[in-house]
Structure 1
Amino acid sequence: MTTTTRNLISRIGETDQQFLQGNTPELALERGRLRLDLVNLSQYQQEQTHFLQEAIVLLEQGRAEFEEMPMSLYLDLSIELAKAYMVYFNVSGEQRFAIITQQVLKPLAHLNSADIYLYLAHASLVQDEIAMTRHWLKKYFSHDAAKLDAVMNITAFDTLKQNDWFKTLIHTHLH
């Protein structure tokens, strides 16, 4: 076991103990992120699925359990939840996780978040909704926080590299 893995597991234990004393949206966010970090370290699909399920429960609970929280925190919980669902899609290949991502994020799209646009584009693409993919990518690349690396790190977007509209978006973003 690597030092990184040991530290991660130790932090999970600490946050789980904090949870026993009382949950907060911030704690739910950290606990969900820690489980997502475990997914990235694991090489076994069964483990990844287990950690993803835990992350999703923690993030959903964090969004629903508290009547009042800052919108920025709700947005962070929602984006992490969408990320978890898209990772779950990548692990399982089940399109329902892309649909759930859209259900989580579409109501928040008016908040002008680059992350929301990127995850909506990814979810649209894996459902073969090319027009919506293009729509969300345009919104993403028009955002100040857009990063080309974020798009290029999503292998699903490799299928778009030959499309003229995609090349134009990339070119416009670079200049």
Structure 2
Amino acid sequence: MKRFGFALMLIMVMAMSFGCAKKQVAVTPEEASSSETAVVEVVETEDSASMNGTAQANEAQLAEEVAAAAVALADTPILFDFDKFDIKPSYRAILKQNAELLKKLPSMRILIAGHTDPRGTSEYNLALGERRARAVQDYLIVLGVPATQLEIVSYGEERPAVQGSNEAAWAQDRRAEFALIQ
């Protein structure tokens, strides 16, 4: 039974030490040689405590930056002409800003979703939506964004931006949008 208790205590100490990499474990020689009990004291130095605080502050700041960048990316869809997937010159400046954000935050991963208006077959629209998403992805890669930060998907006509059966509504449906990958 004493061995079970010792093993349990050792497992708990190991679990606590893995949970916080900045902590040091101090065991006195008497405690280490005792087969009856093992008492382990976790000692946190001032340097490691301040490093933990700094790391947490940096992580919080990074999370805020990623959230702000995700909102900025999602605010402006890239619109396309009917039956086209080439990027209009007016959207290149927006994509350059998006690329700068993504390069600044290399841990951020983005899903680029391609959409179409309802005209055409479902198969054709899925393929066109994919070509639109891929065109945006390729442009961002040319601007220096690592491909590992980008994924694409096509929704075709399945997720319209606005309701309506006229050219004004359809123009909003022909787009590529950005979403943060969790």
TM-score (norm 1): 0.28
Task: Report the structure number with the largest CA radius of gyration.
Answer: 2
More helix by share: 1
Considering Cα pairs closer than 8 Å and 6+ residues apart, tell me whether 1 or 2 has the greater RCO.
2
More strand by share: 2
